[in-house]
Chains A and B, each alone.
Chain A
Amino acid sequence: MKYFIESFSQVFGNNPARPAKDDQSEELKEIYKNKKLTKEDFENIDHRSHVLGKWQKRRWITLILVNFLFLVSYKFDVQLLEGAMTASRFVGFHMADLNSALQVMLAYKHVVLNLVIGTATIFIMWLLLGGRAFCSWACPYHLLSELAEFLHLWLVKKKIIKNHTFHRKTRSVFYVTFALLALLSGYTIFETISPTGIVSRAIIYGPGVALIWVGALILFEVFYSRRAWCRYVCPIGVTYAAVGSVSPLRVTYDATDCHHEGDCRKVCLVPHVLDLTIKGKAHTVEQDITADCTRCGMCIDICPTDSLNFKFKGLDKFL
């Protein structure tokens, strides 16, 4: 329940809760106290590369395969995965993106059975797969944005540009605004600017002028604000974060060997979820990363001490 509440609080845009001295576990306090890292230790940290790590490779392959499957199903009439990211049929079985379905329901105010089936299927699927895992493992815009991020980071490193942050509550404002706009106007306003839908349709049905909008977003992210769309705007991420708050698939943190050097926070799309890796900020020795996490695995790839790992709650006893 606390995980659930803390997840929602962070998704809403609040800062992660800091532990008061008396609600940090004794065991953890002991670990913090005994961990004396000298300057030398710090310099000797075996920093890993954040390019093409194990999980990133797996993730990119999955993402490309999923999007490619849409294309192949249509072009070669294989009928495996028909439709686009917003709604599709997997070997005939309805699937509907939760946020697109929500927009349609709010705008149209009727729900047909097929949409219920599709929404329920996708809900269960991403419940098992970790909610926002949709973002990093399936969303075609995510990959473009991730590549743009490399460019952005390089430009920042060369001191050619500066990153500009926005307030994280902006995303909540967007979420409510887009929901209200759909409800009041009767049009699916968000879908007009959703790069997920636009890119997915462009891959399947061929490119069009809508890609100019996506290009503008990418440029904005490269030159002005790192991962701005995913971090501060996208309501799809919020919808899937809500699913993730009850998902058993999470990234879990173990403070025992952590150097607290912060490599993980540097590569993370949503670094506030990794606040607990700062020395003194965890509550327990082992603690799960909250639902705003996209389960992308970048932190796992880069962690020099293997302090971050995937886990499937309830299954770890059997593995």
Chain B
Amino acid sequence: MTEYKKGKKPLISKSKRLSNRREFIRSSVFTGGFVAASMAGLIPVVRGDSERLRPPGAIKEIFDEQDFFASCIKCGQCVQVCPVNAIKLAELDEGVGVGVPYIDAREQACDFSCDGLQCVLACPTGALTHDLDYPADTRMGFARLESPKTCLALQGKGFKGVARGLSYKGLLRYDEIDRWNPIKVSDHPYDLELCDLCVRQCPIEIRITQCAEQESERNRAKESGKLARVAEQHGNECPPKHAIEMQAINTSDGVTRMVPTVLDGCVGCGVCEMICPVAEPAIVIDIHKIANWGGV
């Protein structure tokens, strides 16, 4: 091995000195420019217009997504595992949020058809926290009947046809049709005397109904003295609270009408917003509110 030593500094000519100086000035402007460009990414966050509905388990406070942005490594593994392609990555207009996952519920909500919260399991950095076990533990937001005037149920109207038009590409899992593969909403027409799509398609409500059926089947089996042979479903335990139901109210003109009412069990998955068949959804997800019991 030989010694590495710095040689003597050679004397430099005037022109060399000048070009060195130019290079220094150029480098300073260059550095300032790029740092400023990267810092500009904070603008959407400061202005608060980068807030979005996030995938299940996103570590964030209401009005404060800093931890989520910081911990996300922007790789999109959550995008890749979602069976209904609900998760998208934010664009550069969201500044430092570029590459961070979000859900546009109206376009495609999370219907938990993966059962096991695949996005949470795929996240390599814990930006979607592993503290979450079941859909009912999720706290993405909270549904709100935004425009009662347009709600079909409140007008006493039914619904016939495909919920979002034939060109709509959104997917939902309909257990009675295919337990394992979500299908297009446009391939599944409804014929309802009173529109209750937001309640009918709520993943939490569907799960509660399934659980009740399993329970009664188990009880019947017990009563008839046979061994219970009912398949247990794992990874999707029974939600302890209802999320939405139709409630009767008296309108001002003295008529009794049914209205979808959001309950404590709502996790903010967005399926109600997605399936609402009127042009502007009557029910939407409020990302600044979550149920205040249990959950993550």
A residues contacting B by CB (< 8 A) are: 2, 5-6, 17-20, 23-25, 73-74, 82-89, 94, 96-97, 100-101, 104, 107-110, 112, 114-115, 118, 164-167, 169-170, 173-174, 177-178, 181, 185-193, 197-198, 201, 204-205, 208-210, 212-213, 228, 232-233, 283-284
Residue pair B77, A188 in contact (C-beta under 8 Å):
no
Known: A112-B126, A198-B98, A208-B91. A83 touches B38 (CB 8 A): no
- Closest residue of chain B to A167 (Cβ to Cβ) is B27
Chain B: minimal CB distance from A100 (Å): 5
- Please give 6 more A-B residue pairs, beta carbons under 8 A apart, in addition to A2-B2, A23-B3, A201-B76: A18-B7, A84-B75, A87-B73, A108-B71, A118-B124, A181-B35
Bound: A213/B37 CA distance, A: 10
The digit string for B45-85, where 1 denotes a CB below 8 A from any CB of A, is 10000000000000000000011011111111101110000
Residues of chain A with a CB closer than 8 A to B67's CB: 108, 186
Contacts of A108 in B (CB 8 A): 67, 70-71, 125
A204 CA to B89 CA in the complex, in Å? 11
Within 8 A of A (CB), among B64-119: 66-67, 69-77, 79-81, 89, 91-93, 95-96, 98-99
Contact between A87 and B37 (Cβ–Cβ < 8 Å)? no
Residue of B nearest to A87 (CB): B75
Residue pairs across A and B with Cβ atoms less than 8 A apart, 15 shown, are: A2-B1, A19-B4, A23-B5, A84-B74, A86-B75, A88-B75, A104-B70, A115-B126, A167-B24, A169-B27, A187-B70, A188-B72, A192-B95, A201-B76, A209-B93
A232 touches B30 (CB 8 A): yes
Q: Are A20 and B7 in contact (CB under 8 A)?
A: yes
Min CB–CB distance B19 → chain A (angstroms): 9
CB <8 Å contact, A86 and B1: no
B24-35 CB mask vs A (1 if < 8 Å, else 0) is 101100110011
Residues of chain B with a CB closer than 8 A to A192's CB: 38, 41, 92, 95-96, 98
A182 CB to closest chain B CB (Å) equals 8
Chain B residues, CB < 8 A from A18 = 5-7
B76 touches A84 (CB 8 A): yes
Shortest Cβ distance from residue A27 to the other chain B in the assembled complex, whole angstroms: 11
Chain B: CB-nearest residue to A119: B124
Q: What's the Cα separation between A88 and B74 when bound, in Å?
A: 10
Asked whether B217 is an interface residue with its Cβ less than 8 Å from the other chain, the reply is no
| Contact mask for chain B residues 129-162; partner A; CB cutoff 8 A; 1 contact, 0 none | 0100000000000000000000000000000000
Interface size class of B (residues with CB under 8 A): 35 or more
CB of B287 closer than 8 Å to a CB of A: no
B42 contacts A187, C-beta separation under 8 Å:
yes
B34 contacts A233, CB within 8 Å? yes
Q: Which residue of B lies closest to A75 (CB)?
A: B80
Question: Chain B residues with Cβ under 8 A from A112's Cβ?
Answer: 125-126, 130
Query: B175 at the A/B interface (Cβ < 8 Å)?
Result: no
Contact A170–B2 (Cβ < 8 Å): no
Closest to A109 in B: B70
Contacts of A188 in B (CB 8 A): 69-70, 72, 74, 96
* Residues B31 and A86 in contact, CB atoms below 8 Å apart: no
In the complex, whether B228 has a CB less than 8 A from a CB of chain A is no
- Find out whether the CB atom of B125 lies under 8 angstroms from the CB atom of A25: no
For residue B1, give the distance in angstroms from its CB to the closest CB of chain A. Answer: 6
Give chain A residues whose Cβ lies under 8 Å from the Cβ of B34: 174, 193, 233
Q: Is the CB of A208 within 8 A of B4?
A: no
Does B23 count as interface, using CB distance less than 8 angstroms? yes
Q: Residue on A with the closest CB to B45?
A: A187
Query: B130 — which chain A residues lie within 8 A by C-beta?
Result: 112
B278 beta carbon closer than 8 Å to chain A: no
Chain A residues with Cβ under 8 A from B74's Cβ? 84, 86, 100, 188, 191, 197, 201
- Cβ-based interface call for B221 (8 A): no
How distant is the Cα of A165 from the Cα of B30 in the complex, in angstroms?
11
Contact A104 B38 (CB under 8 A): no
Among A17, A165, A186, point to the contact of B6 (Cβ < 8 A): A17
Residues of A within 8 A of B42 (CB): 185, 187, 189
* Given A87-B75, A189-B39, A191-B74, residue A201 in contact with residue B4 (CB < 8 A): no
